[in-house]
């Protein structure tokens, strides 16, 4: 054996030929009948083989594929270097790389086929998978052809088809590169690399991500009989999120986040109130042999879980954004989700006007802007709770104190303001007019302001006002009398005001259910 | 929010590239991007107000801790049987399987030397040592069936505030600000006030942030001298100069944060900014001399002194301005009876005099200002005291040893019942006979009142999701209004 004189040793040739034939036979066999739902080649596996063998060898693909990529690219680089130096004989290192790379390509193609049949055939990225499959097979074929047919024709001293050889090596390397790209896309998603180098190419995705999670049409605004966190989320997390979660997002669907589950209304994954129109429920109830069955390749959900999902969807698919369970997201997305969960959800709140029974028009981005304007002044706008989109607004912490003009700040938040703190601000009776008709206002703090009797006209127009703090204001008995018609009022604070014991006694007689706190005079 | 993960995400690429030297081009490309990613954490203020899990009953907490632990038999849980059996050897069953901190031999029963009477409409029976408390007893929920796992001060305090008897975990106030942020960005979200001349035995870990980002730790304010140490400018430094130096420091810190991605750097940036605002806001809020005389009369305050009274008044001023959690510690309740400075006859009445008036004033003041509507006040020690006289080394002064099996605490304000007594102990006040409330149950209930599910308020550290209540705790629904 003299490699000096012959580029390909006969022992190497023998080994490579045997393995290549085996690989080709396997891949041809495997590819023979993939149209059916279960790969037919499974039947040919001898009984003595352990049951995990096919899947293990299939998963070996993701390890093996790195060899042909590196080896064939190095082979091409070696030949390129030789061509630059105007050498007419093949690079010996390149040849070794080519042979090993071709072998690895053959085995990779075979295992890849097995893997695709067993695990990926019904992936959402079917088109990419198909491209990956056929370009990969072409790469394996081209490299084996080059190694086994063209390379042996080369002769020492620069004789033989060196040009054709080089071209074939380069084509093989290119093909394996393209196949690798599609493979990478399958695993890591599209734009895995470009998004790093060209941030702007990420732009559509980013703007989509920073959009607040929409409150899906028709979703219930209050919990039903099924506790989402205790019943539904665990089903998603144990049975779905492995593939539809932060790491894989198959079909673009994520079931770990509300925004991910309701991302695209045209997919009908979950249609609130309509279990029979919800694709999610449809798929989990299919027979496991159906290509659309979910969880793909796993055992079906148990009847209790299916029943819970059905009830949950029927009751409006109430899905509260979680405050703390966001740790699995990548940093940027987590930040976005956190904002969506803690800052923006009020924007999508559906508020029903009690008088008309119709939803109050969506305040949309104006509400966002209003909230941000208040926050920019270090005021507080926050949802009452993650499961309740009414707002708690605190303008008392703004320095210097705000005046009447600043009350326009919350104009666009009017439909949902529930707790409002205006204490120690510079507002006056005129300013209080802007509180007229706040539909959800429950608790109002006006203590230590210069508010007087004439400012209290707004109170009876706020149908839900239940707690009013007038401590340290100029309100007198006349003002107190104005509050008597406030039907929902339950607590009233009048310490340090002009209100007299007589006035309080009269008020108590009219409204015995209201707790009037006078304090230590 | 998980700053830990944010950190690991921000670190890898830059460190890999930095260490393997892929060249200036790649580095500059990626470094610019990474900087913006890391600073997105800086722009999302860790103290920004956040919505709780569900609509809260209280937005704020004042926790009054009587460090050392007052004797429940002499204040809140009358036991006539003890008086009847005073001086007799305690039942043997009290000593079986029992360890005491100091009691040795066979101790004798110690009846309370103080008279009890029912007060208010609810008729809650309290001791003559608490004349002012009588006037607020209709506002409180008294729990006579608290119990804990720990019988020494430091571990019991840590257990109460962090859920574990060892220092390491975040305290209750840190969990509250981690979950909810704070409303007033010019003041710390979690303020600690100490009186009685001594820090709590559990040390600063009782109000620390544990492994939460340190932005959530309690800020201790002093009532004598500068409220917060080192926050005022030194002579010769004007405010503009301070601003410029802080800006320069912030630029450097932002570079540091972008490079190392350590959330503690972000904490530091925001703490410097807070300190700058506090230079104005804190002296203002901490200056109680501006309060009118009737307020001082009501609380029994004396400006410029370190006292529980001053701290009670400060607590009201702080919650009025939107501080999330005010933690008060008052040392001196460790009534062992080793001498006149810690006995039942001389020392306890003195401590009660210092405590009773301002604490009752605090509740009344919060009430008349409407603040009790969204503020929860809790009053407790870290454990109870024995039904037996300690008589350490033959001391002739009366006193009680540490007792974890039952003690009394009370709560008032948002979310809890008014004029309600929860649980009961046996006739010698040694063990609980009805509705026991464990420390973890108390923690779960406090978080619940703040609108948070104690099982969902978690922080991942060393591979585990930690909670204030560890793996225990049940919300005590009976306490809720």
In chain B, where the domains are located: 45-224+305-479
Residue A191's pLDDT is 67
Predicted pLDDT of residue A9? 57
Kindly give, in sequence order, each residue whose CB lies less than 8 Å from that of residue B416, ignoring residues fewer than 6 positions away: B140, B141, B376, B449, B479, B480, B481
Structure tokens given for B420: 């309600």
pLDDT digits (tens, 9 = 90+) for A397-444: 998 899 999 888 888 888 889 999 999 999 999 999 999 999 999 999
Residue A382, beta-bridge partner list: A392
Cβ neighbours for B97, distance < 8 A, ≥ 6 positions apart: none
Is pLDDT of A348 > 70?
A: no
pLDDT in tens, A480-493: 999 999 999 999 99
* Partner residue facing B370 (CB), from A378, A380, A469: A469
**Does residue A43 lie in a domain region?**
yes
ipTM above 0.90, yes or no: no
B419 reaches A (C-beta below 8 A): no
Q: Which of residues 155-194 of A touch B (CB under 8 A)?
A: none
Q: What gap in Å lies between CA B471 and CA B455, rounded to an integer?
A: 8
- Whether A39 and A161 map to the same domain: the answer is yes
Residue A16, pLDDT score: 63
Smallest Cα distance from B37 to chain A, Å: 7
Give contacts of A 80-109 with B, CB under 8 A.
none
Contact A324 B457 (CB under 8 A): yes
Domain shared by A53 and A173, yes or no:
yes
A222 and A148 share a domain? no
Partner-chain contact B369 A493, CB within 8 Å: yes
The answer to whether residues A56 and A185 belong to one domain is yes
> Do residues B307 and B354 touch, judged by C-beta distance below 8 A?
yes
Q: Which residues pair with A469 in a beta bridge?
A: A445, A493
Out of A334, A386, A397, name the one closest to residue B2 (CB). Answer: A334
**A335–chain B Cβ distance below 8 A for any pair:** yes
Q: Which helix (H) or strand (E) holds B147?
A: strand B140-147
Res B273: pLDDT: 84
Cis previous bond, A252, omega within 30: no
Q: Are A49 and A105 in contact (CB under 8 A)?
A: no
Confidence bin at A227 (pLDDT 50/70/90): confident
Q: How far is CA A438 from CA A390, A498, B232, in A?
A: 12, 26, 44
Residues paired with A493 in a beta bridge: A469, A517
DSSP string across A265-319: GGG-SS-TT-GGG-HHHHHHTS-TTSTT-SSTTSPPPPHHHHHHHHHHHHTT---
Judged by a CB distance cut-off of 8 A, whether residue A202 touches chain B is no
**For residue A327, is it within any domain?**
no
Burial of A225 (0-12, 13-18, 19+ CB in 10 A): exposed
CB-based contact (8 Å) between B373 and chain A? yes
Residues of B in contact with A334 (CB under 8 A): 1-2, 5-6
- Asked if B50 and A323 come within 8 Å (Cβ–Cβ), the reply is yes
Residue by residue, DSSP assigns B264-333 as HHHHHHHHHHHHHHHHHHHHHHH-GGGS-HHHHHHHT--TTS--HHHHHHHHHHHHHTT-SEEEEEEE--
Indicate whether A149 belongs to any domain: yes
Strand partners, B432: B425
Phi, psi for B140 (deg, rounded to 5)? -110, 160
Residue A206 lies in a domain: no
User: In this complex, is the C-beta atom of B209 within 8 Å of any C-beta atom belonging to chain A?
Assistant: no
Residue A122 scores a pLDDT above 60? no
pLDDT over 70 at A15, yes or no: no
The reply to whether A325 touches chain B by the CB within 8 Å rule is yes
Nearest by CB to A323, from B6, B53, B321: name it. Answer: B53
Contact list, A341 vs chain B (CB under 8 Å): 51
Q: Determine whether the interchain pair B373/A387 forms a contact, defined as Cβ–Cβ distance below 8 Å.
A: no
Measured between beta carbons, which residues in chain A are less than 8 angstroms from residue B183?
A: 380, 394, 397
Q: Is pLDDT at A478 greater than 80 in this prediction?
A: yes
Beta-bridged to residue A515, according to DSSP, are A491
What per-residue confidence (pLDDT) applies to A121? 47
Burial of A273 (0-12, 13-18, 19+ CB in 10 A): middle
The verdict on residue A250 lying in a domain is yes
Contact B368 A519 (CB under 8 A): yes
**Contact flag B456-A338 (C-beta cutoff 8 Å):** no
CATH of B45-224+305-479, one of 3.30.2180.10, 3.10.50.40, 1.10.8.50, 3.40.720.10: 3.40.720.10
Please check the confidence at residue A388 and state whether its pLDDT lies above 90: no
What pLDDT is recorded for position B197? 86
Is A518 within 8 Å of B185 when comparing Cβ atoms? no
C-beta of residue B215 within 8 angstroms of C-beta of residue B270: yes
Q: How far is A303 from chain B (nearest CA, A)?
A: 27
Alpha-carbon Rg for chain A in angstroms: 35
Distance from chain centroid for Cα B185 = 21
Residue A495's closest chain B neighbor by CA?
Answer: B368
Measure A199 CA to nearest chain B CA, in Å: 8
Distance between CA atoms of residues B247 and B239, nearest Å: 12
* Cβ–Cβ below 8 Å for A380 and B364: no
Q: Do A378 and A300 have their domain in common?
A: no
pLDDT in tens, A270-289: 888 888 888 888 888 888 88
Phi, psi of B40 (to 5 degrees): -60, -30
Q: What are phi and psi of A469, to 5 degrees?
A: -105, 110
Residue of A nearest to B457 (CA): A324
Q: Is B20 exposed, middle or buried (0-12, 13-18, 19+ CB in 10 A)?
A: exposed
Q: Do B41 and A397 touch (CB under 8 A)?
A: no
- Alpha-carbon distance values, A84 to A16, A72, A95 (Å): 29, 18, 17
Nearest chain B residue (CA) to A380: B183
| Side-chain-side CA neighbours of residue B396 (13 Å) | 0
> For A34-64, how does the pLDDT look when each residue is reduced to its tens digit (9 = 90+)?
433 456 666 677 777 777 787 788 888 888 8
Q: Does any CB of chain B come closer than 8 Å to the CB of residue A416? A: no
- Asked whether residue A239 is assigned to any structural domain, the reply reads yes
Q: Which residues contact A390 (CB under 8 A, 6 or more apart)?
A: A346, A349, A383, A384, A416, A417, A418, A440, B55
Query: In 10 A of CB B91, how many CB atoms?
Result: 13
Residues from chain A contacting residue B54 (CB–CB below 8 Å):
385-388
Mutate to test the interface with A, among B370, B454, B456 (most CBs of A within 10 A): B370
Same domain for A146 and A236, yes or no, is no
Task: Please list the ranges in chain B whose pLDDT falls under 50.
Answer: 1-43
**Could you tell me the pLDDT band of residue A387, with boundaries at 50, 70 and 90?**
confident
Determine, for residues A324 and B49 on separate chains, whether the beta-carbon distance falls below 8 Å: no
Chain B interface test: which of A230, A340, A342, A396 (most B C-beta within 10 Å): A342
Span A383-392, average pLDDT: 83
Domain range spanning residue A380? 349-517
Helix (H) / strand (E) containing A496 = none
pLDDT in tens, B163-203: 999 999 999 999 999 999 999 988 999 999 999 888 899 99
Nearest to B101 by CA among B437, B481, B445, B384: B384
From B425's Cα to the closest Cα of chain A, the distance in A is 34
Can you tell me the distance from the alpha carbon of A27 to that of A20, in angstroms, rounded to the nearest whole number? 10
- B443: closest CA among B434, B435, B452, B433? B452
DSSP reduced 3-state for B237: coil
Q: Determine contact: B462 vs chain A, CB below 8 A.
A: no
Peptide bond before A154: cis, by omega within 30 degrees of 0? no
Beta bridge partners of B177: none
What are the phi and psi torsion angles at A388 (to 5°)? -145, 115
Q: Does residue A101 sit in the same domain as residue A218?
A: no
Chain Cα centroid distance, residue A222: 23
Which chain B residues contact residue A397 at CB under 8 A?
183-186, 321-322
**B407-413 and B140-147 beta bridge pairing:** antiparallel
CB environment A170-190: b (16+ within 10 A), e (fewer): bbbbbbbebbbbbbbbbeeee
Q: How far apart are CA B407 and CA B387, in angstroms?
A: 11
Using DSSP, state whether A329 is helix, strand or coil.
Answer: coil
Query: In 10 A of CB A484, how many CB atoms?
Result: 16
Which tokens go with A516? 């009037």
* Distance (Å, whole) CA B363 – CA B368: 9
Q: Which of B187, B189, B210 is nearest to B50 (CA)?
A: B189
Indicate if the pLDDT at residue A105 is higher than 70. yes
Q: What does the DSSP 8-state code read for residue B220?
A: E
Three-class SS string for A133-152?
HHHHHHHHHHHHHHHHHHHH
Tokens of B473: 């705790």
**Same-domain status, A102 and A251:** no
Judged by CB atoms closer than 8 Å, whether chains meet at A471 and B6 is answered as no
Same domain, A355 and A462: yes
- Looking at the complex, report in whole angstroms how far the Cα of residue A391 sits from the nearest Cα belonging to chain B: 9
- Based on the domain organization, do A162 and A262 belong to the same domain? no
The H or E element containing residue B481 is none
Contact B370 A335 (CB under 8 A): no
Token pair 């942020």 in the structure block, residue: B181
Question: Please, what is the Cα angle at B163 between B158 and B169, to 5 degrees?
Answer: 75
- C-alpha angle B406/B408/B409, rounded to 5°? 135
Q: What's the CATH code of the domain at A418?
A: 3.80.10.10
Contacts of residue A415, defined as CB under 8 A and 6 or more positions apart, other chains included, come to A349, A351, A360, A363, A439, A440
């Amino acid at each position: 054996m003299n490699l000096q004189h012959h580029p390909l040793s006969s022992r190497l040739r023998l080994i490579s030929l045997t393995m290549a034939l085996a690989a080709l036979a396997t891949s041809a066999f495997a590819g023979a009948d993939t149209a059916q739902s279960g790969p037919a080649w499974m039947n040919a596996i001898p009984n003595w083989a352990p049951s995990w063998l096919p899947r293990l060898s299939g998963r070996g693909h993701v390890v093996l594929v790195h060899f042909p990529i590196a080896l064939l690219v190095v082979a091409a680089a070696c030949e390129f270097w030789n061509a630059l130096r105007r050498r007419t004989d093949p690079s010996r290192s390149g040849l070794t790389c080519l042979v090993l790379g071709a072998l690895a390509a053959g085995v990779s193609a075979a295992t890849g086929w097995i893997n695709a049949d067993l695990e990926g055939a019904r992936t959402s990225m079917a088109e990419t998978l198909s491209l990956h499959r056929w370009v990969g097979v072409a790469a394996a074929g081209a490299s084996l052809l080059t190694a086994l047919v063209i390379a042996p024709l080369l002769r020492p001293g620069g004789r033989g088809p060196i040009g054709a050889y080089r071209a074939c090596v380069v084509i093989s390397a290119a093909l394996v590169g393209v196949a690798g790209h599609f493979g990478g896309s399958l695993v890591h998603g599209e734009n895995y690399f470009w998004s790093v180098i060209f941030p702007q190419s990420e732009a559509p995705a980013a703007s989509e991500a920073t959009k607040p999670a929409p409150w899906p049409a028709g979703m219930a605004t209050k919990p039903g009989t099924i506790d989402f966190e205790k019943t539904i989320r665990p089903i998603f997390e144990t049975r779905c999120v492995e593939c539809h979660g932060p790491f894989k997002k198959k079909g673009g669907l994520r079931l770990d986040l509300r925004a991910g589950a309701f991302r695209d209304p045209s997919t009908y994954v979950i249609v609130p109130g309509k279990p029979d129109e919800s694709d999610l429920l449809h798929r989990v109830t299919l027979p496991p042999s159906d290509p659309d069955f979910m969880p793909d390749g796993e055992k079906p959900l148990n009847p209790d879980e299916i029943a819970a999902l059905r009830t949950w969807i029927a009751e409006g698919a109430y899905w509260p954004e979680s405050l703390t369970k966001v740790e699995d997201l990548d940093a940027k997305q987590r930040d976005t989700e956190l904002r969506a969960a803690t800052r923006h959800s009020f924007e999508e709140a559906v508020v029903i006007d009690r008088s008309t029974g119709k939803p109050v028009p969506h305040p949309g981005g104006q509400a966002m802007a209003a909230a941000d304007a208040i926050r920019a002044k270090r005021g507080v706008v926050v949802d009452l709770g993650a499961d309740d989109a009414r707002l708690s607004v605190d303008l008392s912490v703004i320095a210097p104190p705000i005046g009447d003009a600043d009350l326009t700040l919350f104009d666009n938040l009017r439909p949902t303001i529930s707790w409002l703190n205006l204490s120690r601000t510079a507002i006056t009776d005129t300013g209080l007019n802007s509180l007229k008709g706040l539909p959800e206002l429950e608790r109002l703090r006006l203590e230590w302001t210069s508010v007087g009797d004439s400012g209290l006209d707004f109170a009876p127009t706020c149908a839900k006002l239940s707690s009013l703090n007038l401590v340290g204001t100029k309100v007198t008995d006349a003002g107190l009398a104005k509050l008597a018609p406030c039907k929902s009022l339950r607590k009233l604070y009048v310490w340090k005001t002009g209100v007299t014991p007589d006035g309080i006694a009269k008020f108590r007689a009219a409204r015995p259910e209201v707790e009037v706190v006078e304090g230590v005079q | 929010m998980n700053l830990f993960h944010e950190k690991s995400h921000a670190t890898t690429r830059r460190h890999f590239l930095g260490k393997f030297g892929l060249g200036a081009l790649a580095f500059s490309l990626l470094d610019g991007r990474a900087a913006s990613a890391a600073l997105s954490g800086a722009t999302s203020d860790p103290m920004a107000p956040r919505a709780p899990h569900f609509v809260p009953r209280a937005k704020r907490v004042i926790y009054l801790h009587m460090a050392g632990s007052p004797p429940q038999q002499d204040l809140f849980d009358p036991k006539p049987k003890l008086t009847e059996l005073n001086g007799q050897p305690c039942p043997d069953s009290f000593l079986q399987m029992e360890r005491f901190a100091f009691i040795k031999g066979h101790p004798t029963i110690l009846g309370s030397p103080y008279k009890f009477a029912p007060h208010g409409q609810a008729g809650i029976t309290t001791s003559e040592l608490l004349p002012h408390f009588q006037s607020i007893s209709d506002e409180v929920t008294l729990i006579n069936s608290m119990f804990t796992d720990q019988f020494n001060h430091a571990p019991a305090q840590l257990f109460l505030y962090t859920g574990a008897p060892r220092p390491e975990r975040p305290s209750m106030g840190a969990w509250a600000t981690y979950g909810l942020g704070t409303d007033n960005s010019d003041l710390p979200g979690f303020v600690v006030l100490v009186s009685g001349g001594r820090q709590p035995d559990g040390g600063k870990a009782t109000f620390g942030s544990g492994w939460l980002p340190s932005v959530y730790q309690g800020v201790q304010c002093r009532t004598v001298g500068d409220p917060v140490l080192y926050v005022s400018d030194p002579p010769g430094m004007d405010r503009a100069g301070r601003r410029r130096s802080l800006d320069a420091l912030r630029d450097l810190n932002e570079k540091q944060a972008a490079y190392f991605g350590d959330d503690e750097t972000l904490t530091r940036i925001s703490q410097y900014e807070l300190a700058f605002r506090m230079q104005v806001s804190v002296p203002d809020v901490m200056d109680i001399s501006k309060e009118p005389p009737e307020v001082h009369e009501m609380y029994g305050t004396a400006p410029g002194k370190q006292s529980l009274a001053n701290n009670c008044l400060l607590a009201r001023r702080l919650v009025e301005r939107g501080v999330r959690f005010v933690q008060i510690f008052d040392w001196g309740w460790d009534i062992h009876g080793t001498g006149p400075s810690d006995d039942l006859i001389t020392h306890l009445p003195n401590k009660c005099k210092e405590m009773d008036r301002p604490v009752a004033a605090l509740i009344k003041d919060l009430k008349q200002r409407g603040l009790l509507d969204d503020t929860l006040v809790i009053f407790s020690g870290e454990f109870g005291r024995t039904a037996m006289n300690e008589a350490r080394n033959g001391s002739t002064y009366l006193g009680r040893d540490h007792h974890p099996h039952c003690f009394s605490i009370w709560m008032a304000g948002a979310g809890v019942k008014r004029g309600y007594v929860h649980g009961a102990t046996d006739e010698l006040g040694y063990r609980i006979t009805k509705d026991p409330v464990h420390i973890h149950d108390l923690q779960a209930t406090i978080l619940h009142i703040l609108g948070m599910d104690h099982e969902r308020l978690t922080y991942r550290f060393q591979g585990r999701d930690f909670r204030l209540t560890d793996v225990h705790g049940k919300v005590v629904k009976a306490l809720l209004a």
